[in-house]
Structure 1
Amino acid sequence: MGRSWKKWYSGYSESQHTPGERVPELPEAETIVRGLRTTIVGERIRRVEVLHTDILRQPKLIFSKRVRLRRINGIERRGKNVLLVLNEGWVIKVNLGMTGRLLPFSRPPRGAERPTHSAVRLRFLSGALLVFDDTRRFGSMEALTSAEWNERSNQMGPEPLGSTYQVSHLLDGLQRSSSPIRSWLLDQKRIAGVGNIYANEALYLADIHPQRQSRSVTRNEAKALYRSLRSVLRDAIKAGGTTIQDYRNTDGDKGEYAGQLSVYGREGKPCYRCNSGVQRIVFSNRSAFYCPSCQPRRRNK
């Protein structure tokens, strides 16, 4: 951890994205987790500095008491959440919201490298520190017991890349819902970690219109969606996530998956498969991108 970390995400382009959209999604969170594993695991928290209490989901004194002098034993991800796993059964749950950044430093940053919107600092006994920086302050941090976290986790849907997640789970969930399928995919209680970017991409690859009623999806379509969703998420992780505007990983590099997007953010541009113009619609306060030829609107059940 001999360098300072540049900002990895500072928001959406307002001209292209609608209110209510959030990042990071599963691939971006996973990329951040993998970066933090190589930098702060093994560190022990000496002091907590809270500059903006609205980031915390509990009183400052409780948060500080729960994490002070704890050792960071591991970094994990659940859905879009980054988890700092501490010793003695404690967990710091971090939700990065729209513009949150977790920035590890090997020494206190100075001058231009100092984060400008620091909300919480975890200072370590080694002299290193982790800064939670958040421009819009939609992110959050919370210190939980393992039991408290497990209760939260149990309320979330399964991990789409989990070894136990099968086509049957996806199909069963879809058949129980009358929601538009894009909305179903974004519901974290149904499936964890999928956001708007990858939902749009997976539906395109599966030839399913984003407004199709979930229960109208056939078994074969569910199989196609299962494959496309897992493929898109895995490819995005390999690419380090998607840079929409200013996203960076913990090495300061852009996510490279934006160059592989088939429909997301490509309104009016030709479909790569049929040359029809990609269309954009807004529902549930979010943009959906699709090809009208490859993803025709079929009658709902």
Structure 2
Amino acid sequence: MPELPEVEIIRRELLLPLLGERIVDLEIDDKKIQIHSMDILNKVITDLIRKGKYLFLIFNDSSSLLFHMGMTGSLIYTKAKENLRFQRARITLSQGFISFCDARRFGKIKYLTENEREKVMESLGFDPLLSEYSWNNFEKLLINKTLPVKNFLMNQAWITGIGNIYASEILFLSKIHPEKRMKELTVQERKSLFDSIPLILNQAIICEGTTIRDYQHTNGSSGFFQNCLQVYDREGKPCLVCGTPIVRIKMAQRSTYFCPRCQKI
């Protein structure tokens, strides 16, 4: 599933090619996508912004298209018109094409007015790569939290953009057991967690994202952060720090990976 790093990579790759482009045509290949040509036709793209896992394509009248990749979604930019595998929608630009491809069809595109976009962004938690992510704001989030730290990281209303892969990697770097309760974290562990979140996400961006099954760049190529994963999907393999076999457990019906020696509860 594309998480914050993968969506940020898509944003960076598309920003310059899309700026100043005019929407010429819209083709919908999936009736689940309910956007209309009349909402976006002839509008000019002025920006492409991200919060968490959401991308917002901004137009010259301040309206926008929201893109959420779901589990298998991707945005592919091509100079020539191509019929791509799992294509659900295609936007024709004055120069080039953007295709939204999604094998499992959990991703979405939605047209938003400026006010609607602001409400969506306000509903999301702090983005670890934006200035709103500060120690003071982070400390406020921790007040009266009693749930396991892994569940805290996955809650998009508190910190947005972290999914299952990066939650496991963040906790390994922080040396925190995923089942440890938030109220039990020491001051040192809280600071380590605060520092580890953007560090792991930025490392993944440098490595062009994690491709385990479906994620691909806007040109169809893969990322390589999967080669740098310390615990995720490494059940039974030796910890790269201490050699102890990595353990997998289920939390909130999701696989969670950790080292029982480096991450004692």
Moved more, 141-150 or 166-175: 166-175
Aligned to 2:78: 105
The alignment status of 1:70 with 2:43, answered yes or no, reads yes
Instruction: Give the secondary-structure state (helix, strand or coil) at the position aligned to 1:85.
Output: strand
SS in 2 for 1:89: coil
Mapping 1:277-288, distance limit 5 Å? 277-288=245-256
Q: Which residue of the partner structure matches residue 96 of structure 1? A: 69
How far off its partner does 1:199 sit?
Answer: 0.9
Q: Distance in 2 between matches of 1:249 and 1:48?
A: 22
Superposed counterparts of 1:281-300, under 5 Å: 281-297=249-265
Report the TM-score, using the length of structure 1 for normalisation: 0.84
Q: Tell me the distance in 2 between the aligned counterparts of 1:230 and 1:186.
A: 14
- Report the number of matched residues: 265
Q: Which amino acid aligns with 2:81?
A: P
Q: CA deviation at 1:187?
A: 0.7
1:182 to 150, 157, 164: 150
The answer on whether the counterparts of 1:89 and 1:146 sit within 8 Å (CA) in structure 2 is yes
State the distance in 2 between where 1:102 and 1:246 align. Answer: 12
Question: What is the aligned counterpart of 1:215 among 183, 187, 192?
Answer: 183
* Alpha-carbon shift at residue 250 of structure 1 (Å): 1.9
Counterpart among 51, 59, 70 of residue 86 in structure 1: 59
Match of residue 118 from structure 2: 150
| 1:114-148 Cα shifts (integer Å, max 9, x gaps) | 2122211111234x221111111100000101111
For residues 30-70 of structure 1, the C-alpha deviation after alignment (integer angstroms, 9 at most, x for no partner) is 011111113222211112111212133xxx4xx32221111
The aligned counterpart of 2:8 is 30
Letter in structure 1 aligned against 2:198: R
Q: 1:125 aligns with which of 94, 99, 105?
A: 94
Q: Cα RMSD (Å) of the superposition?
A: 1.4
| CA shift digits 1:181-220 (9 cap, x unpaired) | 1111111100011111111111111111111112221221
Aligned to 2:173: 205
Q: Which AA in structure 1 matches 2:22?
A: R
Pick from 151, 160, 165: which aligns with 1:192? 160
SS of 2:137's equivalent in the other structure is helix
Q: For 2:225 and 2:85, locate their aligned partners in 1 and report how far apart those are by CA, in whole Å.
A: 27
CA distance, structure 2, for counterparts of residue 145 and residue 253 of structure 1: 33
Q: Partner residue of 1:42?
A: 20
Q: Is 260-269 or 39-48 further displaced after alignment?
A: 39-48
Work out the CA distance in 2 between the residues paired with 1:145 and 1:237.
30
Q: Is the 8 A contact 1:55 1:138 kept in 2?
A: no
How many angstroms does 1:96 deviate by?
0.6
- Output one character per residue of 1:201-253: Cα deviation in whole Å (capped at 9) or x when no partner: 11111111111112221221110011111111111111111111242212333
When normalised by structure 2's length, the TM-score is 0.95
**For 1:151 and 1:144, how far apart are their aligned partners in 2?**
10
Given that residues 65 and 109 in structure 2 are in contact (C-alpha distance below 8 angstroms), is that contact kept between their aligned partners in structure 1?
yes
